């Protein structure tokens, strides 16, 4: 989605935007269906600072270079391990 290289990496997960799906789950972006928080239970401010988003940003998942496609999909095993049920 977009040109992550010119943006200094992926800007999902609250770096620039995030996505709320039809169930209220806050996800990094529409193409990354990972969530650990639901806006029915929390505020938007808390959602944008969710444990998952914070881990993705502070763990430098989003800024790593990737050849094509989605940086989080390329690391889906590691991303899924960050989720509470993993």
Residues in contact with ligand SF4 by the rule CB under 6 A: 1, 4, 10, 12, 28-29, 31-32, 70-72
In eight-state DSSP terms, residue 21 is: -
To ligand SF4, the closest distance from the beta carbon of 41 in angstroms equals 23
Interior CA angle at 25 toward 21 and 27, to 5°?
A: 75
To ligand SF4, the closest distance from the beta carbon of 57 in angstroms equals 12
Identity of the residue, 30 or 51, whose beta carbon is nearer to ligand SF4 in the bound complex: 30
């Amino acid at each position: 989605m977009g040109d992550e290289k010119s943006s200094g990496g992926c800007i999902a997960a609250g770096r620039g935007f995030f996505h709320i799906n039809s169930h209220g789950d806050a996800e990094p972006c529409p193409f990354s269906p990972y969530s650990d928080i639901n806006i029915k239970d929390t505020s938007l401010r808390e959602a944008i600072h969710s444990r998952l988003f914070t881990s993705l940003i502070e763990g430098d998942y989003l800024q790593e270079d990737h050849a094509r496609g989605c940086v989080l999909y390329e690391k889906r095993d590691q991303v899924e391990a960050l989720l509470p049920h993993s």
